[in-house]
Amino acid sequence: MELVGRMMDGSIPFGGGLEPSPSGPGVGDDDRVDLLETVPLFRGCSKRQLKSIAGICETYDVPAATVLTRVGEPGEEFFLIVDGTVRVDVSPRRQVRLGAGEYFGEMSLLDGEPRSASVTAESPLRLLVIRRPSFQKLLDDTPGIGRGLLVTLSRRVREAERALSSLGGH
C-alpha cells in the first residue's frame, strides 16, 4: 500500500509526517490552477480544464526519504512534483532524478500492472496527487494529456535503451 492508502488507514511510516497540506501556497483551487499552468503536461489545457484538474488533485507535503512507490506493489495514485526532487530506482544500476513540473506513477494507472520502480523523496516534497478514478476520467475528458503521457513514455523508453546499450546490454 502506498502513500495515500497508508495515510487513509493510519499506518503512515514516517511519524505522521504525511498529511494533506491544510493551508499555504499551492493548496487552494486557484493556487493549484497557477501551479498546473506551469506543468508541461498540461500546457495545452484551457483555463476551464485546469480548474477541473485542480478540483481532482490533493496537495501533500512529504518529508525527505519518504518512499512514494515500491516496485512490485499495486499503484493507485499519480504524482505531480510541485517542489523538490525524487529518485526513481529504475534498476540496481540505474537511477533517474525527477524534479518540479515532472511526474511519476502514471504507468501502473495506465496498464494496471504493479509499480515498475521504487520512487523515494530526495528532499522535502510538495506533491499534487490524483487517484486512479479521477486519473481515468482526466484521460477520457482531456485527450491532450494522454498524448503528453505518451511523449514522456517514449522519451523514457529511448533513454532506457540508450542506457542499456551504453552498458553493453545490446
- Footprint of ligand CMP on this chain (CB under 6 A)? 69, 75, 88, 90, 96, 104-108, 115-117, 119, 156, 160
Positive or negative, the CA dihedral 146, 135, 38, 33 is positive
The type of residue at 74 is P
In whole angstroms, the minimum distance from the beta carbon of 154 to ligand CMP comes to 12
Q: Is the Cβ of residue 137 or residue 162 nearer to ligand CMP in the bound state?
A: 162
Cα distances (Å, whole numbers) of residue 25 to 40, 46, 60, 83, 160 = 20, 22, 12, 11, 36
- The CA-CA-CA angle for residues 57, 59, 64, to 5°, reads 135
In whole angstroms, the minimum distance from the beta carbon of 166 to ligand CMP comes to 14
Q: Is the Cβ of residue 16 or residue 169 nearer to ligand CMP in the bound state?
A: 169
Q: Is the Cβ of residue 88 or residue 130 nearer to ligand CMP in the bound state?
A: 88
In whole angstroms, the minimum distance from the beta carbon of 55 to ligand CMP comes to 23
Backbone angles phi, psi at 2, to 5 degrees: -110, -170
